Chain A
Amino acid sequence: MTLSEVTQIDGIAGDFKVTVKEAPRYVDVEKCIACGKCTEKCPKKVDSEYDAATGKRKAIYVKYAQAVPLKYQIDADACIRLQKPGACGFCEKVCDAGAINFNDTEKIHQLNVGAVVLAPGFEAFDPTDAGVWGFGVYPNVITSLQLERYLSASGPTEGHLIRPSDKRPVNKVAFLQCVGSRDENLCGNGYCSSVCCMYAIKEAVIAKDHVPGLQTTIFYMDMRTHGKEFDLYMERAKEDSGVRFVRCRVNGVEPDGSGGDLRLSYVNEEGRQLEEYYDMVVLSVGLQTPKHVLELAHTAGIKLTADNFAATSDFAPVQTSREGIFTCGAIAGPKDIPQSVVEGSAAAAAVADLLAPARFELTTEATFPQEKDVSREEPRIGVFVCHCGSNIAGTVDVKAVEEYAATLPDVVYVERNLFSCSQDTQEMITKRIREQNLNRIVIAACTPRTHEPLFRETLKAAGLNEYLVEMANIRNHNSWVHTKDPKAATAKAKDLVRMAAAKVTFGDSLKPFAVPITQKGLVIGGGVAGMTAALNLAEQGFAVHLVERTEVLGGNALNLKHTWAGEHVPSQLAKLIDKVTGNDKITIHKGASVTKVDGFVGNFSSTITDRNGATLVIDHGAGIVATGGDAYIPTEYNFDSITGVVTSVQFDKLFELKEQHVKKARRFVFIQCVGSREEGNMYCSKVCCTHSVQSAIALKKENPERNVYILYRDMRTYGQREALYKQARKLGVIFINYELHGKPKVTQNGSVIDVEVWDHVLHRPLKIEADMVILATAIRPQGDAAELGKLYKVPVDKQGFFQEAHAKLRPVDFSTDGMFVAGLAHYPKPVEESIAQALAASARAATLLSKSHISLDAVKATVDEDYCDGCALCVDVCPYNAITLIEKPAKAGGAGGKTIVVNKAQCKGCGLCQGTCPKRGVYVAGFTMKQISAQIQAALAV
């Protein structure tokens, strides 16, 4: 439902009545074919929101070229006709589809739903009103979002970085951090936006790729690159790409002459006033909650934090203050894409927990018409040539390809589409298959990797076997790589279409392979993440086995006292343990580890072994790895020899117990990044800055006379944690920055501990006398993570943390289907992020476990009994152990001998067996020798 807003939510969790107001589009989506004639004729231009006002759009427009749904809309405020009846109306005149409807009206929908998930996102801080650093006055001061558009191939300059003022190439760019973040004076946002440091580095690196020799400098207070592999990326940006980083306070951006150049003045770490000159200044704008989201929050009746984000508990990170209403993404605090995606899945898990009794009540299985048997028919091939907007048609002469395709053998129908993948084209292709009685289809468009599943569905909808389609990739393999040679690209497109048609001619109807799913989960690790995942799966109705290798549940959280927001960990942990132990769907195996794994997605068999060597085999359809992390035991700062030097975990215990030494001590020094962010361990442990700041606050609150120092590299109190940093400074905690090459020195000096650190302002070493030194030690991966990884064929990264399938879009999935990851096993993170990730892993596992069968691709190795002589060469090359050598069942009158069988559930259809077999005794369905040789002959037949 697009152009729609929620205006009212009545009812209670499980049974809400929601009112949705749908604004008029003035374009009939059923009729619009997105041909674009209307926008060509529309005389009214306004700033494009999509391009962050760097470019223009018309009053009738699509949001962006790949928009879903790809339907035009009229901006009523800008449209001449809608503002003045009788005027203009060009779009209506040129629209062949008759889709324009100036009389369209607002519609009100009443919907009955069990739960509501709020995912309205954020807006980028707009520096115009505050006139930050001359934005809005000097044309070459732009926002980071605008730079993003300038760098984009779909942006206003098609990816060319030029100055807005004079369109000249850019040679020197400055990025100014924390615009609209960590600054209550100019913008009113005290919190840190969490994502700007990282995106500024990314933009600097990519801008340098676009413009050889470009100089980029990032001016910052603290680099907050606390996410997975972020520090590594920053190091690469420094060392390989040559991005310059300057820690300072910027105090002015002024024009330098009238040519558009900018003079930047700043105070460096030594307190010196400096000036530099730039062609372009980019403001790294922060994230904030837009006004319409504040209204939505009010409508939904949910509580907000002081920073205007949805208030949630650290132990229920996607639950709002109103039962049945959940949040995910930036509405509950600034966050990056992976964390937002995690929360999207986490919200799904929380909803599924609430609505489990009503699962499948309102959904229907997609039904398809009876499949037609085409095995006895002569091939009748239909070819659909896609423009992909201008992606293909901008380079390839698609009309020539269309005409050529019509001349190929057995091709009886050819057509061109603007976007073959659009919903309306899908319906049209279905119609054409029926009308023209087509029995083989070629889609000349993009890659089968992303789009083949879609076209298979299209064939199914037309009653044709889904494997009778072949894609010719005339985009990724052609128009994108030969943009400078349209003639050759057109010739190549013809070759690709000819090859695809030849192959599909010999295509067979294939049946996907269904295997039953064991609807049980296995969770490895009984910490907060593991228990949360197990409990959620159980409450969704699935039986779960929870395996914990120690004798107690709780994991690393047993060492924690408070979350960053001040919630009491031990009491919440006790509640969670009670719920897990009291749930009859959860079987807990303490003192046990996984020692052997067989099977595959939907059908795993994991063997667990307890301390006495007793084994148990657990069958499960999906598995969640939540094995946690380990604490780094420091060897530096004389931790071994000085009793007053302790780790933060040790300190928490001493402080809690009001131990005499701590109680009497007056001088405390915290040292950050112990074991983190250095050679060999180039990652941030994410939680330590906030933890030390919290401890410092507690010490100061207990006795304001105490001297508390925090020696840090970058203070990473990200998001709304920034309030703690501010509070600590207000209470008089002294923060001293140190660099990696100038680590503090800690020595015992009689009854005191001397801490020596380089003072940047005074340019000399500073000696602090301390009673106690607290080391903020790193979180390490489990030492044996890789061993467990091998059992499930899931990888660990360079540091030894488990590696997810995709850093951004599949943050809890493993590349091995059916396996998921959560908590510290994935990367260091605070409690609420572990819980969100555990819920997400549970939601992802539930998408599998809620089905009774899983459908596997029909592209599998198939044995040809007539040719296979059981030589077994294929058995050795199969990387998936899917082939077994067996005794041939002796047929009546025939001899026995050996042959092979293929476990279709394990086979991935890679074709190594087919390539290896000297006798043509095994082939991959959908890639038979006949198909491939026809394709090769077609390739050579020019």
Chain B
Amino acid sequence: MLDTKKVGSVMIVGGGVTGMQAALDLADSGYYVYLVEKSGAIGGAMAQLDKTFPTNDCSM
């Protein structure tokens, strides 16, 4: 493994809250990120929720 090439970029498949968190942390620590999303916009399932427990914060 020592001699194999390492590419400093990452592909993240899925632009929901999970994929976005992974993308942000990787981009913030020095990696180029491709965020691939199947639908027309990122946001995922959380964007469909009205409010979230426990503070009943708006999901958006």
Contact = CB atoms under 8 A, between A and B. Distances in A.
Nearest to B35: A1
A206 to B, nearest CB: 6
A120 B13 contact: yes
A206 B7 contact: no
B51 A202 contact: yes
Contact of A148 (B21, B40, B49, B55): B49
14 contacts: A2-B37, A15-B4, A67-B40, A69-B41, A73-B40, A117-B12, A120-B38, A351-B26, A355-B10, A361-B8, A362-B9, A362-B31, A846-B29, A847-B25
Contacts of B26: 348, 351-352
A337 B31 contact: no
B20 to A, nearest CB: 7
Contacts of A62: 40-41
B39 A2 contact: yes
Nearest to A9: B11
Contact of B53 (A52, A202, A296, A343): A202
Interface string B1-39: 100111111111111111111100111111110111111
A415 interface: no
Contact of A113 (B11, B21, B53): B11
B47 A206 contact: no
Given A63-B43, A198-B53, 12 more contacts: A2-B41, A115-B10, A120-B38, A121-B45, A206-B50, A230-B53, A328-B18, A343-B18, A344-B19, A355-B10, A807-B53, A808-B57
Nearest to A847: B28
Contacts of A844: 25
Interface string A216-242: 000000000000011011000000000
Contacts of A199: 53
A575 interface: no
B5 A351 contact: no
A118 interface: yes
B35, B46, B54, most chain A CB atoms within 10 A: B54
A121 B14 CA distance: 7
A337 B52 contact: yes
B40 A3 contact: yes
A233 B44 contact: no
A296 B13 contact: yes
A119 B8 contact: no
A704 to B, nearest CB: 42
Given A2-B37, A344-B18, A847-B25, A807 B10 contact: no
Contact of A52 (B7, B44, B48, B52): B48
Given A15-B6, A344-B22, A351-B10, A337 B34 contact: no
A850 interface: yes
Contact of A341 (B13, B21, B45, B53): B21
B13 A6 contact: yes
A79 interface: no
A929 to B, nearest CB: 36
Nearest to B56: A206
Contacts of B40: 2-3, 25, 62-63, 67, 71, 73
Contacts of A114: 6-10, 31
Interface SS of chain A: helix, strand, loop or mixed?
Answer: mixed
Contacts of A345: 21-22, 25
A121 B43 contact: no
Given A14-B4, A329-B19, A347-B22, A352 B29 contact: yes
Nearest to B45: A121
A36 to B, nearest CB: 15
A190 B4 CA distance: 42
Nearest to A72: B40
Contacts of A331: 14
Interface stretch (A149-157, A428-436, A750-758, A780-788): A149-157
B6, B21, B43, most chain A CB atoms within 10 A: B21
B37 A360 contact: no
A119 B4 contact: no
Nearest to B40: A73
Contacts of A233: 53-54
A651 B9 CA distance: 49
A5 B36 contact: yes
Contacts, number: 239
Contact of A355 (B6, B36, B44, B56): B6
B50 A151 contact: yes
Interface string A70-87: 110100000000000000
Interface string A347-367: 111011011011111110000
A122 interface: yes
Interface in A135-168: 145, 148-149, 151-155, 159
Contacts of B46: 337
Interface in A6-60: 6, 12, 14-16, 18, 20, 25, 50, 52
Contacts of A232: 54
Contact of B9 (A113, A198, A292, A807): A113
B34 A113 contact: yes
A355 B31 contact: yes
A119 B14 contact: yes
B49 to A, nearest CB: 6
A136 B8 CA distance: 49
Nearest to A232: B54
The 9 A-B residue pairs with the shortest CB-CB distance, nearest first, are: A344-B21, A329-B18, A358-B8, A119-B19, A67-B41, A348-B25, A119-B14, A361-B8, A114-B7
B11, B16, B18, B45, most chain A CB atoms within 10 A: B18
B12 to A, nearest CB: 5
A362 B25 contact: no
B14 A118 contact: yes
A813 to B, nearest CB: 11
A363 B26 CA distance: 11
Contacts of A296: 13
A64 B18 contact: no
A68 interface: yes
A148 B10 contact: no
A756 to B, nearest CB: 37
A121 B16 contact: yes
A899 B47 CA distance: 52
A362 B7 contact: yes
A18 to B, nearest CB: 5
Given A2-B37, A151-B50, A155-B50, A117 B31 contact: no
A64, A348, A360, most chain B CB atoms within 10 A: A348
B13, B16, B34, most chain A CB atoms within 10 A: B13
Contacts of B49: 148, 152
A64 B47 contact: yes
A151 B34 CA distance: 34
Contacts of B22: 117, 119, 328, 344-345, 347-348, 351
Contacts of A689: none
A151 B56 CA distance: 12
Nearest to A15: B5
A21 to B, nearest CB: 10
A20 B36 contact: yes
Contacts of B56: 202, 205-206
A105 interface: no
Nearest to A147: B50
Nearest to B12: A117
